[in-house]
Chains A and B, each alone.
Chain A
Amino acid sequence: MQAPLLSVRDLTVEIRSDLGTLRAVDGVSFDIPLGKTVAVVGESGSGKSVTAQAVMRILPKVAKIAGGSILFDDPADRHPPLDIAALPAESERMRQLRGGRIAMIFQEPMTSLSPLHTVGDQVTEALKVHADVSDAEAKERAIEVFGRVGFPDPKRALVTYPFELSGGLRQRAMIAMALITRPALLIADEPTTALDVTTQAQILDLIRELQADTGMSVLLITHDLGVVANMADEVVVMYRGRMMETGARDDIFRRPQHPYLKALMRAVPRFAMKPGERLTPLREVKSAAVAARVPAGPPPNRNVLEVRGVSKSFRLRSGWFSGNTRMVHAVKDVSLAVPCGRTLGLVGESGCGKTTLSKIISRALDPDTGSVLFDGGSGPREVHRLRGEALTAYRRSVQFVFQDPFSSLNPRMTVYELLTEPLRIHKVGTPDERFERAKALLDMVGLDRRSLRRYPHSFSGGQRQRLGIARALALEPQVLLCDEPVSALDVSVQAQVLNLLKDLQAALGLSYLFVSHNLAVVDYVADTIAVMCRGYIVEQAPAAALFRDPRHPYTKALLAAVPDPDLDHPLDFAKLRSGRFSEPASWPEPFRLAGEDAGVMVAVSPDHYVRMMAPALEAAA
């Protein structure tokens, strides 16, 4: 058997902190064979990224390699394997390897590139550091690489700044930067986590293709088992710095041994779930109040929220030096209904207008045309006409759960202050009653009553999101607008929060508008799903029908692009390669929307609507 390219043995990385020394990586061993992909999977804090940084020797200052070896056997070099762990991090030899033979791409394509330098500058720089090339040669190589990673205009890319590129193209630029030196090993640290699903599929496809071309090995760091199932040859599962399980992909997915891995797999929402099947979080939360409460009866048969023909456009001032303005149509003629006690899922990729829509519903924004109706039990009323008392009452009934549990809680307020602030604002109850309410809210979301005096920073991400939910519930609302409530959370915690939301709905009769880009998550919580693209609702159907029988090309592309942690449902990369799914003008007939044509929603079966071009409807009639 051929010697592995990289061989990590008993790697231990220690991090100094005020609380003493912490072992971020504790005795990890694995091999990366030539031309293969090894995936390191784990939750945040599992030490997977630290492992990658140790291989690159770009550990933060507080961390140091405390033991073990990292043997790198470069096929292009006849010398015996080199122990990276033993080299000084800033030595000449290490610098030659770093970026030259071992290259790395990062999670955040937004921040990984310097905003002040052109993409061309940053990419050619990588080559110039490692090879003795002239500017012209470097540029030529860069153009070649840009073309290879799929830049539509490789020459222009040289003089483009990162902020002028979309997230997908930025990540392609990062890949170009990594590949221009033709490395033997590519370390990809969560390369697609920040990207939309269709873009993610394309980037994953690109990495696979490049790997087949160049024969490089890939060390893929990710938390997404779906990505692993589609990319990896071998898998290393990490938890709290230790290796839990390692093996070939098939063994890992078909015959998981370690309880942690099994639990992790059960915690991920999948498409193939049976109706009513519940996710099993790694750490179950006991929501006392929910368990005690008698399930609310069947919800009344009315729409608690109804959006009718809402449109909203923004005027963008373009550039500093020009007075030009540009109109952006964020939401176009959207009609939706949230039935009482149910969940409406709203799916779409970044920039599709889903957040604008939720802001319009919460009355943070006024629509240009159309109306939002709210029916709290006393007949529908138009939200944007509400004034005074009625408006205050509306605000109490509709509450927000935010995406980022870290920035949505004021770090200077205790849990008690956070939970009772809505009550104080709306002048509800006496201080004693508020105190009781705060305790009840903590019970509801399964947090310890004793947490009232603590500050948000002492809670984990999942606990914080539960605090956010508790705060949203303080005023006993009827509707929760959940804007990507789990996308900032680890998979294991996701399941916990999703289950909590479901339980609360059953117990309190809440209605949800659940906004997310993750189809599997929406599938798990929503009764009805609306798919949004470029400000349009392109398809709307009951969850089961949408996944069984997607009609719209965009919905199909979205579904096809979600990597499923199931080896029997691999991604169909070929199908996703064609590219522009989110371009209404390039959808096939009869879905094409060109120019001013907004199309119309057509019922293809009961409760299943698809947006088609207007002429198609006429032809059908």
Chain B
Amino acid sequence: MILFLIRRFATMAVTLAIISALVFFIIKLPPGDFLTNQIAELRAQGEAASAAKAEFLIKQYGLDLPVWQQYLVWIGLWPGPNGFSGLLQGDWGWSFEFDRPVTEVVGDALWLTLLINLVLVIFVHVVSIPIAIYSATRQYSLGDYVATFIGYIGLATPSFLLALILLYYTNRWFGVSIGGLYDARFSGQPWTWEKFGSLLSHLVVPTLVIGLGGTAAMIRRMRANLLDELGKQYYVTAKAKGLPPTRALLKYPFRMSLNPFIADIGNLLPHLVSGSVLVSLVLSLPTVGPILLAALKSQDQFLAGFILMFVAALTVVGMLISDLLLAWLDPRIRLGGR
């Protein structure tokens, strides 16, 4: 077990190293990133002060160094102007566009993103699993057809469109503006119960909007998985034992059908951060998605690099978690081949 973990951590480190290199070089690849533009602008002004500032920026961010050295400085494996100070040391760099440290730019948004998406994940599972079980056990019944129909609509509706529609109608009917994560008057205020309540009420619509597609997809997949398992012999055995139907269902086929979803956690985690960019834009949710979009557009290299690395790290960690969970839940994986 310990050996396994050591091996896994080693491969995780290598994976992340490769991803970081790719991220860095790809961001650097097209000419005209934010900083070079800024320097060019300063130089074009032709004033001594501007030129000096340009020189300072070049020195500060090591633009005169070869790209591989810049990369190593960013990672924190090469002494930059401030000594070893990179991702490994917890220094996430400077956002040129916002002219603030990346930590500050991303900080709050990161937590809110995680919150929204956590609520989302819970919503999707809580809603879709019972519906899926219902429609799988009553295949081709009226209820199944209704669930299937709603599922297809959910899959086919673009979520940003739904967001726009809801935005308009909630405002018209209830007079509530659902944009943002809390009422505008709370922005910049310390957290109070009132602000928290406002946050909760603002969470409802985004959760519905973003969650609909996921719920629909989950119902379809869960239903298919469960239908496969319902035909298996061990379920017949369970029924032949005289188990009450619900217990037989939940203990055997349902548990088996969960496996693919656990294996999917690795994909779920990064989705928590980078998913739902469009909806966040439409509903002006202060999440990481729009920030990432902006950073990529303006080639704000450290900001974009950090968010991408963060997503990559989440993916890798998610994979590890799902592997460990699978091993814990499925004895065949844990003990197989012993």
In the assembled complex, which residues on chain B have CB atoms less than 8 Å from the CB atom of A106? 233, 236-237
Tell me the chain B residues, 222-246 only, with Cβ under 8 Å from chain A.
232-234, 236-245
CB-based contact B233/A318 at 8 Å: no
Is B200 part of the binding interface, using a Cβ–Cβ cutoff of 8 Å?
A: no
Contact between chains at A115 and B331 (CB < 8 Å): yes
1/0 contact string of B59-82 vs chain A (CB within 8 Å): 000000000000000000000000
Contact of B242 among A96, A108, A113, A319 (CB under 8 A): A96
Q: In the bound complex, do residue B240 and residue A108 qualify as a contact, i.e. CB atoms below 8 Å apart?
A: no
Say whether B234 contacts A114, CB under 8 Å: yes
Q: Chain A: which residue is nearest B240 at the CB level? A: A104
- Is B337 interfacial (CB 8 A cutoff)? yes
Closest to B4 in A: A321
Cα separation A174 to B237 with both chains bound (whole Å): 9
A530 — which chain B residues lie within 8 A by C-beta? none
Q: Determine the distance from Cα of A323 to Cα of B10 in the docked complex, in whole angstroms.
A: 15
- Given contacts A164-B335, A164-B338, A99 and B241 within 8 Å (CB-CB): yes
| A103 within 8 Å of B (CB atoms) | yes
Q: A161 — nearest CB in chain B belongs to which residue?
A: B331
Residue of B nearest to A325 (CB): B337
Complex Cα distance, B244 from A127, in Å, reads: 13
Interface membership of B194, Cβ < 8 A: no
Asked if B165 CB lies within 8 Å of chain A CBs, one says no
List of B residues within 8 angstroms of A618 by Cβ: none
Within B291-338, the residues touching A (CB, 8 Å) are 327, 329-338
Contacts of B245 in A (CB 8 A): 90
B29 proximal to A (CB < 8 A): no
Residues of B close to A95: CB separation below 8 A: 242-244
Q: Could you tell me the distance between the alpha carbons of A125 and B237 in the complex, rounded to whole angstroms?
A: 12
Q: Which of B3, B243, B336 contacts A129 (CB 8 A)?
A: B243
> Which partner residue on chain A sits nearest B3 by CB separation?
A323
Verify A116–B330 contact, CB threshold 8 A: yes
Q: Judging by beta carbons under 8 Å apart, are B240 and A98 in contact?
A: yes
On whether the beta carbons of A321 and B1 are closer than 8 Å, the reply is yes
B245 to A, closest residue via Cβ:
A90
- Whether a CB of chain B sits under 8 angstroms from the CB of A177 is yes
Q: Which of A112, A130, A161, A163 contacts B233 (CB 8 A)?
A: A112
Known contacts A116-B256, A161-B331, A323-B3; is A130 also within 8 Å of B242 by CB? yes
How many of chain B's residues have a CB under 8 angstroms from any CB in A? Answer: 32
Interface residues of B in 22-49 (CB under 8 A from A): none
Asked if A283 lies at the interface with its beta carbon under 8 angstroms from chain B, I say no
For window 198-244 of A, CB contacts with B under 8 Å fall at none
Chain B residues near A130: list those with CB within 8 A: 242
Q: Does B255 contact A (CB under 8 A)?
A: yes
Question: Does any Cβ of A come within 8 Å of B252's Cβ?
Answer: yes
- Chain B's closest residue to A97 (CB) is B242
Bound CA–CA A97/B251 (angstroms)? 21
Task: State in angstroms the CA–CA spacing of A106 and B234 once bound together.
Answer: 10
Q: Measured between alpha carbons, how far is A106 from B4 in the docked complex, in Å?
A: 38
Contact A319 B234 (CB under 8 A): no
| Interface mask (B244-268 → A, CB under 8 Å = 1, otherwise 0) | 1100000110011000000000000
Of B234, B240, B255, B338, most buried by chain A (CB within 10 Å of CB) is B240
Q: Which residues of A sit under 8 angstroms from B337, Cβ to Cβ? A: 316-320
Contacts of A161 in B (CB 8 A): 331-332, 335
B256 A320 Cβ-Cβ under 8 A = no
Q: Is A100's CB within 8 Å of the partner chain B?
A: yes
Q: Does A447 contact B (CB under 8 A)?
A: no
Which chain B residues border A58 with CB–CB below 8 Å?
236, 239-240
Most buried by B among A95, A99, A100, A320: A320
Cα distance A533–B108 in the bound complex, in angstroms = 68
Q: Residue-by-residue, is A299-325 near B (CB-CB < 8 Å gives 1, otherwise 0)?
A: 000000000000000001111111100
0 or 1 for each of B196-238: is its CB under 8 Å from A? (1 = yes): 0000000000000000000000000000000000001110111
The answer on a CB contact under 8 Å between B234 and A111 is yes
- Quick one: given A108-B233, A320-B334, are A116 and B329 in contact (CB under 8 Å)? yes
**Chain B residues with CB under 8 A of A100:** 242
B338 with A103: CB separation less than 8 A:
no
Query: Is the C-beta of A126 less than 8 angstroms from some C-beta in chain B?
Result: yes
State the Cβ distance, B55 to closest chain A Cβ, in Å: 55
- Mark interface residues in A317-361 (1 if CB within 8 Å of B CB, else 0): 111111100000000000000000000000000000000000000
Enumerate A512-562 residues with CB–CB distance to B below 8 Å: none
Q: Which among B234, B244, B245 has the greatest number of chain A C-beta atoms within 10 A?
A: B234
Q: Are B241 and A320 in contact (CB under 8 A)?
A: no
Interface string of B146-159 (1 = CB under 8 A from A): 00000000000000
Is A56 an interface residue, CB under 8 A from the partner? yes
Compute how far the CA of A113 lies from the CA of B332 in the bound complex, rounded to whole angstroms. 13
Contact A320 B330 (CB under 8 A): no
Complex Cα spacing A323 to B2, Å: 11
If A100-B242, A125-B241 touch, whether A114 touches B252 (CB-CB below 8 Å) is yes
Contact (Cβ within 8 A) B332 A115: yes
Q: Which residue of A lies closest to B236 (CB)?
A: A58
A95 to B238, CA, bound (A): 12
CB distance from B336 to the nearest CB of A (A): 6
Contact B327 A320 (CB under 8 A): yes
A317 partner residues in chain B, CB cutoff 8 A: 337
Using CB atoms, name the residue of chain B closest to A320.
Answer: B333
Residues of B within 8 A of A126 (CB): 241-242
The closest CB in chain B to the CB of A123 belongs to B241
Alpha-carbon gap, A234 to B251, bound state (A)? 38
Which B residues are CB-close (under 8 A) to A163? 331-332, 335-336
Q: How far is the CB of A353 from chain B (nearest CB, A)?
A: 19
A316 vs B251: C-alpha distance in the bound complex, in angstroms? 32
**Residues A319 and B241 in contact, CB atoms below 8 Å apart:** no
Given known contacts A111-B234, A116-B255, A103 and B334 CB-to-CB distance under 8 angstroms: no
Q: Which of A80-105 contact B (CB under 8 A)?
A: 90, 95-100, 103-104
Q: Are A320 and B236 in contact (CB under 8 A)?
A: no
With a cutoff of 8 Å between Cβ atoms, the chain B residues found around residue A177 in the complex are: 237, 241
Q: Return chain B residues, CB-CB under 8 Å to A90.
A: 245
| Contact partners of A323 in chain B: CB under 8 A | 3, 7
A129-B338 contact in complex given A116-B329, A320-B4, C-beta closer than 8 Å: no
Min C-beta distance of A220 to chain B, whole Å = 16
Q: How far is the CB of B104 from chain A (nearest CB, A)?
A: 42
Closest Cβ neighbor of B253 among chain A residues: A114
Q: Which residue of B lies closest to A174 (CB)?
A: B237
In the docked arrangement, what's the CA distance between A220 and B334, Å? 37
Give the chain B neighbours of A322 by CB distance below 8 A.
3-4
Chain A residues closer than 8 Å to B240, beta-carbon distance: 56, 58, 98-99, 103-104
Q: How far is the CB of B257 from chain A (nearest CB, A)?
A: 11
**Considering only CB atoms, which chain B residue lies closest to A92 in the complex?**
B244
Which residue of B has the minimal Cβ distance to A318?
B337
Pairwise interchain contact A113-B4, C-beta atoms closer than 8 A: no
Q: Report the Cα distance A112→B239, complex, angstroms.
A: 11
Q: How far is the CB of B142 from chain A (nearest CB, A)?
A: 15
Contact B232 A111 (CB under 8 A): yes
Question: Whole-angstrom distance from the CB of B199 to the nearest CB of chain A?
Answer: 40
- Least CB distance from B310 to A in Å reads 28
**A321 contacts which of B3, B236, B237, B239 (Cβ < 8 Å)?**
B3
B residues less than 8 Å from A111 (CB atoms): 232-234
Q: Beyond the given A111-B234, A116-B329, A318-B338, please list 19 additional residue pairs across the A-B interface where CB-CB is below 8 A.
A: A98-B241, A100-B242, A103-B241, A106-B236, A114-B238, A115-B256, A116-B255, A117-B251, A118-B331, A126-B242, A129-B241, A129-B242, A161-B331, A163-B331, A174-B237, A316-B337, A318-B337, A319-B334, A322-B4
CB-defined A-B contacts under 8 Å, sample of 26:
A96-B242, A98-B239, A98-B241, A99-B240, A99-B241, A100-B242, A103-B240, A106-B236, A112-B237, A114-B251, A114-B252, A114-B256, A115-B330, A116-B252, A116-B330, A117-B252, A126-B241, A129-B241, A129-B242, A129-B244, A161-B331, A163-B331, A163-B336, A316-B337, A320-B333, A320-B334
Which 6 A-B residue pairs are closest in the complex by CB-CB distance? Answer: A99-B242, A99-B241, A321-B4, A111-B233, A318-B337, A98-B242
Q: Which residues of B contact A (CB under 8 A)?
A: 1, 3-4, 7, 232-234, 236-245, 251-252, 255-256, 327, 329-338
